[in-house]
């Protein structure tokens, strides 16, 4: 069904090495809560020495594509992989704005820890010109924002995540219990010859097995 209001697009970055059900549940729940028309997963480029041995950026991307195929409103956006080094978030946002126009609502999802580190991000004060921020918070977490973010929170917080208005500029919080799954755990299982079945979608598991990924013991 088409909507009269501007499209609302969420952005969920990560290395997705590999993508797993923790990412996917969180993405889906957030999309529902925010009423997103699309939630784009953006696999991040990494410096070559930080890549997992024998698993390329293209393979990480392929797994995210398999995991999200046919799962509206999840989508994949591979713009950060079109460069061979990590992108600054501001560059990604500028690229999206140039493509999508000024009226689309962009909502960048960030974990609480990442949010607390916001003042160290490159050109961080410009981020909210391009997007809203949805901060993912655990229900049981302590929440003491750093001094540098207090004014921003006082001026820009919106209590109801579905009530973000305008194309950019507001901050909201989403309380979510993450599933106890990490990509590190999945890589470790595979390196030990054990199965990550049910921690990743079957299509991702089949891809991992077909390409014999993550068999080597981890070095990082
Ligand atoms: P690794 O174990 O390799 O560090 P990861 O599982 O944490 O990886 P990332 O690709 O680094 O996955 O994470 C991308 C985003 O997903 C981050 O914002 C991270 O906080 C979030 N995330 C990771 N695991 C979960 C989970 N189980 N539930 C919800 N969100 C998650």
Query: Is 153 within 8 Å of 172 (Cβ atoms)?
Result: no
Quick one: which atom of ligand 1 is closest to the CA of 19? 10
List the structure tokens of 8: 């609302």
> What spacing in Å lies between the alpha carbon of 99 and ligand 1's midpoint?
27
Q: Which domains does the chain have, with CATH numbers?
A: 8-179 (3.40.50.620)
Rounded average pLDDT over 124-143: 92
* Ligand 1 pocket by Cβ (under 6 Å): 14-17, 22-23, 26, 111, 178-179, 181-184
Rounded average pLDDT over 30-48: 95
Q: Kindly tell me if the per-residue pLDDT of 109 is higher than 60.
A: yes
Spell out a b/e string for 133-170, using b for 16 or more CB atoms within 10 Å of the CB, else e: bbbbeeeeeeeeeeeebeebeeeeebeebeebeebbbb
Nearest residue (by CA) to ligand 1, atom 22, is 23
List the structure tokens of 36: 């997103």
Q: Look at the block and give the residue holding tokens 């219990």.
A: 177
> What spacing in Å lies between the alpha carbon of 181 and ligand 1's midpoint?
8
Q: Which residue has the higher pLDDT, 28 or 219?
A: 28
Identify the bridge partners of residue 157 per DSSP, sorted by sequence position.
Answer: 171
Q: Kindly tell me if the per-residue pLDDT of 216 is higher than 90.
A: no
Pocket perturbation via mutation, ligand 1, pick of 15, 86, 176 by most ligand atoms within 8 A of CB: 15
pLDDT interval class at 5 (50, 70, 90): low
How far is 185 from 199, CA to CA, in rounded Å? 10
Pocket perturbation via mutation, ligand 1, pick of 10, 17, 23 by most ligand atoms within 8 A of CB: 23
């Amino acid at each position: 069904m088409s909507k009269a209001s501007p499209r609302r697009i969420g952005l969920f970055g990560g290395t997705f090495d590999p993508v797993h059900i923790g990412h996917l549940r969180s993405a889906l729940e957030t999309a529902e809560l925010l009423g997103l028309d699309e939630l784009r997963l953006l696999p991040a480029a990494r410096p070559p020495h930080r890549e997992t041995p024998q698993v390329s950026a293209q393979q990480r991307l392929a797994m995210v594509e398999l995991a999200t195929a046919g799962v509206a409103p999840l989508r994949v956006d591979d713009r950060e992989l079109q460069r061979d080094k990590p992108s600054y978030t501001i560059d990604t946002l500028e690229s999206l704005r140039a493509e999508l126009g000024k009226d689309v609502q962009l909502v960048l999802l960030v974990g609480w820890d990442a949010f607390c580190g916001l003042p160290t991000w490159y050109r961080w004060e410009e981020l909210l010109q391009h997007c809203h921020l949805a901060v993912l918070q655990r229900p049981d977490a302590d929440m003491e924002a750093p001094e540098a973010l207090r004014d921003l929170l006082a001026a820009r917080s919106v209590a109801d995540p579905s009530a973000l208005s305008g194309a950019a500029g507001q901050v909201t919080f989403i309380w979510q219990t993450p599933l106890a799954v990490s990509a590190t755990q999945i890589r470790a299982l595979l390196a030990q010859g054990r199965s990550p079945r049910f921690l990743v979608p079957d299509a991702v598991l089949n891809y991992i097995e077909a390409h014999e990924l993550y068999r080597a013991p981890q070095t990082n």
